[in-house]
Amino acid sequence: MRLQRRRIGFRAFAYLFTFVVIVYVAVFMNTPYIVYQPGSATEVAPMIEVEGGDQEEQGTFMMTTVSASYANVALLIASVFNAHSEVVLKETRLQDKTEQEYAAEQVFYMSSSQSNAVEAAYQAADVPYEDVVDYLYVISVADAGNQSKFQPGDKIISVSGQKIPDPEALAELLSSSKVGDEVEIVLQRAGKEVKEQVTLVEVQDSNDPAVRPGLGVVIGAVQRVEPKEAGKTVSFVDTNVGGPSAGLMFTMEIYNRLTPGDLTKGHRVAGTGTINAEGTVGSIGGVKHKIVAADRKEAEIFFVPVKNYDEAKAKADEIGTDMKLVPVSTLDDALKYMEELPVRP
């Protein structure tokens, strides 16, 4: 009887151990893959504030996203049964970056996209403006840099007690020091102020063979676009997404607020595409997933960069959507289409 109990106990332990291993492998064990799926189609109006802007809007402009998940085994298995999923190797997305560096880079691209959207909308609405550097942003930390002092995503508030207006000013400030000197850096990290004593290291620009003292980080300047007219300031709330592909839809919403009337004409309008200050619309990745996301939110119109049109059209035909695909290469193309569109009854 005692031997039988031992066997039952051992069997129960073996079952439990096997269950724990299966759960670990399926849920917690990393794989070298990323699964892309349709993300969301989200109204951009709540993300943007335009001082004194025209609030009339019967329809909506929507940005579209792609869901990208670092895959566990369970997700890989589930993706086999999902017609809209796509499995790719991590390295095709990250290349030589860490996950933290990639995420920080995407936040930087989103910030730049927002600045470009404001510039393009101001130009289209004939609002005079000027560009100023808002802050310097740490995109990555070099292997030979100060990895214990900086993290991707840090904002540089001051160096040696001085606020730094742009990367050129930072280089000029550090030029009076030498490699090995220490400087005090004030950073903003996850909403909190952090002070670090940073030892200057050797840095060299790709277009300049001269070695100079630096922080050992890759930085980007985040621009702030300020109107020269009072009552035209544009600001953004946290969008919780990264990348530059919402630029066109941000611009459409800002322009709609800056000008009289309702550009949406009561329609549900989705889209994607990068934007620059001159209003040129650039291609993006993952358009087939964004088509599905927009269709699920019952978008009637989808603005797509010209270079992405064929892929978008193929996916639209595959899912049998009634959504109208409109290829655009400039902001003017999109504005003209909306201005000629009849008001929805």
**Judgement on whether residues 232 and 319 belong to the same structural domain of the protein:** yes
- For residue 47, pLDDT over 80 is answered with yes
Residue 118 above 50 pLDDT? Answer: yes
Domain boundary among 223, 248, 278: 223
Same domain, 248 and 326: yes
- Digit-coded pLDDT (tens) for 235-274: 998 777 788 999 999 999 999 999 999 999 999 999 999 9
The predicted pLDDT at position 130 comes to 94
24 within a domain of the structure (yes/no): no
What is the per-residue pLDDT for 7?
55
Q: What is the pLDDT of residue 9?
A: 56
pLDDT band at 24 (very low <50, low <70, confident <90, very high): very low
CA distance 65 to 84: 14
Which of 149, 162, 156 is CA-nearest to residue 199?
149
Same-domain pairing of 260 and 119: yes
**Residue 144: is its pLDDT beyond 90?**
no
Q: Is 290 a catalytic residue?
A: yes
Are residues 182 and 108 located together in one domain of the fold? no
Position 26 confidence tier, pLDDT thresholds 50, 70, 90: very low
28 inside domain: no
Which of 91-95, 104-108, 279-283 has the weakest average pLDDT? 91-95
Angstrom CA distances, 67 to 9, 87, 293, stand at 44, 12, 10
Query: Are 293 and 336 within one domain?
Result: yes
Average model confidence (pLDDT) across the chain: 87
Q: With 50 as the cut, is the pLDDT of residue 50 above it? A: yes
Pair (63, 118) in one structural domain: yes
Q: What are phi and psi of 84, to 5 degrees?
A: -105, 10
Catalytic residue among 155, 265, 290, 315: 290
Based on the domain organization, do 46 and 111 belong to the same domain? yes
Q: Which residue has the higher pLDDT, 328 or 172?
A: 328
Question: Containing domain of residue 172, as a range?
Answer: 133-223
pLDDT band at 25 (very low <50, low <70, confident <90, very high): very low
Instruction: Tell me, yes or no, if 245 is annotated catalytic.
Output: yes
Return the H-helix or E-strand segment holding 114.
helix 99-124
The string of pLDDT tens digits covering residues 263-316 is: 999 999 999 999 999 999 999 999 999 999 999 999 999 999 999 999 999 999
Report the CATH number that the domain containing residue 110 is assigned in CATH: 3.30.230.10
The pair phi, psi for residue 106, each rounded to 5°, is -65, -35
Same domain, 100 and 219: no
DSSP secondary structure code for residue 300 in this structure: S
Phi first, then psi: what are they for 66, rounded to 5°?
-115, 135
pLDDT given at position 32: 80
Based on the domain organization, do 239 and 316 belong to the same domain? yes
Answer whether residue 279 is part of any domain: yes
Q: What's the confidence (pLDDT) of residue 122?
A: 96
179 falls within a domain = yes
- Domain boundary, last residue among 163, 195, 223: 223
Task: Specify the DSSP class assigned to residue 32.
Answer: S
pLDDT reading at 10 higher than 90:
no
Task: Sort residue 320 into left (φ over 0), alpha (ψ -120 to 50) or beta.
Answer: left
User: Which one of 79, 245, 265, 315 is the catalytic residue?
Assistant: 245
Establish if 158 belongs to a structural domain: yes
What average pLDDT does this structure show over 53-68?
A: 90
In a domain, 98, yes or no: yes
Final residue in a domain of this structure, among 223, 253, 270: 223
DSSP 47-65: GEEETT-----SSEEEEEE
What is the count of structural domains for the chain?
2
Q: Quick one: 232 and 311 in the same domain?
A: yes
Q: Are residues 118 and 189 in the same domain?
A: no
- Asked if residue 335 and residue 233 are part of one domain, the reply reads yes
CA distance linking residue 227 with residue 163, whole number of Å: 23
pLDDT above 70: residue 23: no
Listed residue (47, 64, 125) closest to 303, CA to CA: 64
pLDDT exceeds 50 at position 19: no
Looking at residue 199, which CATH number applies to its domain?
A: 2.30.42.10
Q: Which two tokens stand for residue 91?
A: 């390295």
Residue 9 lies in a domain: no
Instruction: Look at residue 13 and tell me if it is in a domain.
Output: no
